[in-house]
């Protein structure tokens, strides 16, 4: 072989080696690509630079007492480890929890519980904002509400949706990379015969007063309240995120009332709406008001994150939505929107197995990146595609008002 040919081959091999090192890879060494990840570009999660802010939103985390009674609580430390890749490259990560905070599972007879050690596991995975304003967490009195707030504060986590007293602001404003990000929550509250109900559960008047609430039966006054709070935030913030309860799947909330709320937030300048209340995932939409050019991203529902003993159906899945913000200019602009289908998978047998959240974007019938059972690969792959069909069932923009 000629000398020049040898140099040519060596040169080509060197280039191939450099390119192979430059392509992002996941823990198992599998090369990430648009085709593999479908709706999620893994490369985007790596590129969290000083010129952008990355926001990640997770669904409602539910732990049932009966599932944890015989469970090795040490195993809960690894519950989030498979999604650390996404959460730890985000600047703001939020989730909702539903349950009574407890120190010891054995001493509790509550249906839904949140062990204190589990909140620490969330913090270890960079889930630093927790939405707690729901009927399960604040029913009966303020005692449980305050306990949850204290545990979150102890773990250096931010509580969304409730406060200790009326002297505190009803929202959070955080500085992230030199920009002010405001986060607020509005829960649905029904007043009937002098009693108060949230998520179909009776709550005390005092507890309800510590939560921003709206009543879908009387939206007139509540839209004024929303606009007043958002207006106050807008004088202090560069970007505003609002959680809002869209009620559960069984409610008779009409589309008209839902749209009234969305219009109110859009007109007030809210940039992202994160819906709570619904247990099933729903589409993500972008709405626009042509009169003032306000655009708002609406995440109708992220779904529930729950243990379900490997029942592979869409009701047992959720998504994590990740939105990148371009902050190079004075005005923040949304750079891109990604999402990851999630599923809580049981490794091993029911009584002795271990539950972990799986990012389904990295699951397919031809790859086994997380050592799931071979028989389950195809089912998880099908589930991923079902989730994508639901989330992608959206128009690019839905116009609230047209000129």
**pLDDT at site 267:** 92
- Indicate whether 241 belongs to any domain: yes
Span 243-250, average pLDDT: 75
* Residue 12: pLDDT band with limits 50, 70, 90: very low
Work out the pLDDT band at 266, boundaries 50, 70, 90. very high
pLDDT score for 366: 62
**Least trusted range by pLDDT, from 43-57, 200-214, 300-314, 349-363:** 43-57
Which of 317, 327, 336 has its CA nearest to residue 384? 317
| Mean per-residue pLDDT over the chain, rounded | 80
- Evaluate whether residue 119 is within a structural domain: yes
Encoded tokens for 219: 């939206």
How far from the centroid of its chain's Cα atoms is residue 284's Cα?
12
* 341 token code pair: 């289908």
**Residue 392: pLDDT above 60?**
yes
Per-residue DSSP letter, 82: G
* Count of Cβ atoms closer than 10 Å to residue 337 Cβ: 17
Whether residue 48 lies inside any domain: the answer is: no
pLDDT at 234: 95
* Domain assignment present for 189: yes
Q: Considering the domain boundaries, does residue 329 fall inside one?
A: yes
Q: Domains in the chain: how many in total?
A: 1
Domain enclosing residue 112, as ranges: 54-81+106-392
- Only one residue has tokens 């509790």, namely 108
Residue 374 pLDDT greater than 90, yes or no: no
Whether the predicted pLDDT of 223 surpasses 60: yes
Quick one: tokens of 36?
């593999």
Q: Is residue 49 part of a domain?
A: no
Q: Residue 155 pLDDT > 50, yes or no? A: yes
CATH of the domain at 174: 3.60.21
pLDDT for 367 equals: 65
Does 402 or 227 have the greater pLDDT score? Answer: 227
With 90 as the cut, is the pLDDT of residue 3 above it? no
> Taking a C-beta distance cutoff of 8 angstroms, is the pair 128, 140 a contact?
no
CA dihedral 393, 395, 398, 403 (to 10 degrees): -160
The 10s digit of each residue's pLDDT in 67-90 is 787 788 888 889 999 999 889 889
Distance in angstroms (rounded) separating the CA atoms of residues 184 and 198: 18
Per-residue pLDDT tens over the stretch 36-58: 333 444 444 455 788 999 999 99
Look at residue 2 and tell me whether its pLDDT is greater than 80.
Answer: no
Domain-embedded: residue 93:
no
pLDDT, residue 246, reads: 85
Task: Indicate the range of 234-243, 336-345, 348-357 predicted with least confidence.
Answer: 348-357
| Residue 122 pLDDT level (bands cut at 50, 70, 90) | very high
Looking at residue 111, what is its pLDDT? 80
Which pLDDT belongs to residue 15?
35
Indicate the length of the chain as a whole number: 403
Virtual torsion, Cα 139, 280, 302, 209, nearest 10 deg: -20
Flag whether 26 is in a domain. Answer: no
């Amino acid at each position: 072989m000629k000398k020049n040919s040898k140099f040519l081959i060596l040169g080509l091999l060197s280039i191939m080696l450099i390119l192979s090192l430059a392509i992002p890879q996941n823990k198992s060494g599998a090369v990430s690509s648009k085709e593999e990840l479908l709706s999620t570009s893994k490369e985007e999660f790596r590129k969290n630079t000083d010129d952008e802010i990355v926001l990640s939103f997770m669904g409602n985390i539910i732990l049932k007492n009966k599932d944890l009674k015989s469970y090795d609580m040490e195993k809960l430390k690894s519950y989030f480890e498979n999604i650390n890749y996404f959460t730890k490259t985000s600047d703001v990560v939020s989730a909702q929890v539903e349950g009574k905070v407890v120190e010891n599972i054995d001493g509790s007879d509550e249906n839904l519980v949140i062990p204190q050690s589990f909140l620490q596991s969330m913090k270890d995975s960079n889930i630093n904002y927790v939405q707690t304003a729901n009927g399960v967490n604040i029913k009966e009195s303020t005692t449980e509400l305050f306990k949850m707030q204290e545990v979150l504060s102890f773990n250096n986590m931010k509580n969304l949706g409730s406060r200790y007293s009326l002297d505190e602001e009803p929202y959070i404003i955080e500085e992230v990379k030199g920009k002010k990000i405001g986060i607020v929550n509005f829960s649905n509250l029904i007043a009937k015969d002098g009693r108060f109900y949230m998520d179909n559960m009776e709550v005390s008047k005092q507890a309800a007063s510590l939560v921003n609430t709206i009543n879908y039966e009387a939206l007139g006054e509540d839209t004024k309240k929303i606009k007043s709070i958002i207006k106050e935030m807008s004088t202090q913030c560069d970007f505003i995120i609002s959680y809002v309860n869209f009620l559960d799947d069984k409610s008779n909330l009409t589309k008209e009332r839902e749209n009234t709320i969305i219009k109110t937030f859009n007109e007030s300048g809210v940039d992202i709406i994160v819906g709570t209340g619904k247990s099933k995932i729903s589409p993500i939409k972008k709405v626009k008001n042509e009169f003032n050019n306000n655009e708002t991203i609406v995440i109708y529902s992220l779904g529930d994150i729950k243990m379900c003993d490997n029942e592979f159906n869409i009701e047992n899945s959720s998504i994590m939505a990740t939105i990148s913000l371009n902050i190079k200019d004075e005005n923040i602009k949304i750079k891109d929107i990604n999402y990851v289908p999630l599923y809580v998978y049981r490794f091993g047998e029911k009584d002795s197995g271990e539950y972990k959240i799986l990012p389904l974007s990295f699951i397919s019938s031809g790859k086994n990146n997380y050592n799931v059972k071979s028989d389950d690969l195809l089912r998880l792959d099908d589930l991923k595609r079902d989730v994508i069909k639901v989330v992608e069932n959206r128009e690019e923009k839905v116009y609230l008002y047209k000129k």
